[in-house]
Amino acid sequence: MRTLTLDGRLGSQKLKSFYVMTKPRVNTLIVFCAVIGMFLAVPEGLPPAATVFAATLGIACVAGAAAAINCLIEQQLDARMQRTRSRPLPRGEMGSGETLALAALLGGAGLLILYAAVNTLTMWLTLATFVGYAVVYTVFLKPRTPQNIVIGGASGAMPPVLGWAAVTGEVSADALLLFLIIFAWTPPHFWSLALYRTADYARAGLPMLPVTHGSEFTRLSILLYTAVLFAVTLLPFATRMCGALYLASAVVLGLAFLKRAWALWRDYSDDLARKTFRFSIVYLSALFAALLVDHYLRIG
């Protein structure tokens, strides 16, 4: 009985550790943006519930598998960084073989769900997103160039496109606008984090922008990218994809982001960088929520 209890606890700990490696907070934002894309893709009414459920589950599984592969590849780097040294692999709570096996099962299940219950386009786009993040970004871009976030941001910007394709079976210009918003949002979001974690990245030997170009250049880059983001978020209104409610939301949220980016550039502190990073998450969530509300107000 004691052996069974011990085995159960160990199994539960393994599952908990693997769950942590799927980066559930990041995964939640990914799934949220994908679901918004599903609802925006329907001109009137609601998307089929079965499609929404299957696509959400499939995309979440593949995103979790990609995060686990990222942890697997970067386990030695994670062990050198204060922010990530408590992850299961550096702590020895999971083995490399276990992680690879569980990631393969999770990713394979997700792709199978998308193939069988959604459509092949979504499956292939999701697979490409997986490769873009887990391989292209993690293996080739992140350790080699300070522009890793800019180039690799293409994978992170895919969720609304995946959601759109899940419902319509195609990728439209409107879906690409949603992609462009997240693509422009990614650099100021991650560079805000990198600013107050510069010592961590330097210790790990990663060429993040604050490490290679310094704080002042990074802060200016954040300000410029935030200005680009502000302009990009106006495009859905300019193309008549969205109405006045979205426009007002985009302007208010964009000005709030610009205010923080300006303050970060003029009077830096780690605390302000941390607050800017956290605000960027709220910003993207609120912006996509405004897209959804505006969509149904217009068709209602």
- pLDDT tens digits, 222-271: 999 999 999 999 999 999 999 999 999 999 999 999 999 999 999 999 99
**pTM, full prediction:** 0.95
pLDDT score, position 210 = 97
Q: Are residues 163 and 264 part of one domain? A: no
Q: Please give the Cα distance from 254 to 114 (Å, whole number).
A: 35
- For residue 2, tell me if it sits in a domain: no
106 and 206 within one domain? no
CATH of the domain at 176: 1.20.120
- Spatial distance between the Cα atoms of 203 and 205, rounded to a whole number of angstroms: 5
Q: Kindly report the CA angle at 156 between 85 and 29, in degrees rounded to 5?
A: 75
* pLDDT, tens digit, 9 for 90 and up, residues 60-116: 999 999 999 999 999 999 999 998 999 999 999 889 999 999 899 999 999 999 999
Give a yes or no: residue 111 inside a domain: yes
Rounded Cα–Cα distance for residues 120 and 135 (Å): 22
DSSP assignment of 2-51 equals HHHHHHHHHHHHHHHHHHHHT-HHHHHHHHHHHHHHHHHT-SSS---HHH
Last residue of a domain, one of 124, 154, 171: 171
Q: Are residues 67 and 106 in the same domain?
A: yes
For 115, the 3-state DSSP assignment is helix
Q: Which residues contact 7 (CB under 8 A, 6 or more apart)?
A: none
Residue that is last in its domain, among 140, 171, 202: 171
Which tens digit of pLDDT belongs to each residue from 23-32? 999 999 999 9
| 1 belongs to a structural domain | no
Whether residue 212 is found in the same domain as residue 105: no
In this predicted model, what pLDDT tens digit does every residue of 160-209 receive, in sequence order?
999 999 999 999 999 999 999 999 999 999 999 999 999 999 999 999 99
pLDDT higher than threshold 50 for residue 7: no
19 CB burial (10 A radius; 0-12, 13-18, 19+): middle
Domain count, the chain: 2
Q: What is the CATH number of the domain that holds 80?
A: 1.10.357.140
At residue 112, the pLDDT reads 98
Statement to judge: residues 53 and 186 lie in one domain: no
DSSP letter string, 69-114? HHHHHTHHHHHH-TTTTTSHHHHTSS-HHHHHHHHHHHHHHHHHHH
- Say yes or no: 153 and 287 in one domain: no
143 and 63 in a single domain? The answer is: yes
Q: Do the beta carbons of residue 264 and residue 276 sit within 8 Å? A: yes
| Dist. CA 188–CA 192, nearest whole Å | 6
> Are residues 144 and 180 both part of a single domain?
no
* 4 domain residue, yes or no: no
CA distance 29 to 286: 11
> For residue range 120-174, what is the model confidence (pLDDT) as tens digits?
999 999 999 999 999 999 999 999 999 999 999 999 999 999 999 999 999 999 9
User: Distance between CA 62 and CA 111 in Å, rounded?
Assistant: 7
Residue-range definition of the domain harbouring residue 78: 10-171
Clarify whether residues 166 and 204 are in a common domain: no
CA gap 269, 266 in Å, rounded? 10
155, 141 Cβ separation under 8 angstroms: no
> Is residue 158 located within the same domain as residue 220?
no
Name residues whose C-beta falls within 8 Å of residue 11's C-beta, 6 or more positions apart in sequence: none
pLDDT at 4: 45
- Asked if 151 and 17 sit in the same domain, the reply is yes
> Do 141 and 29 belong to one domain?
yes
Which of 117, 147, 171 represents a domain boundary (last residue)?
171
How far is CA 87 from each of CA 80, 248, 279, rounded to the nearest angstrom?
11, 40, 24
In whole angstroms, what separates CA 26 from the centre of its chain? 6
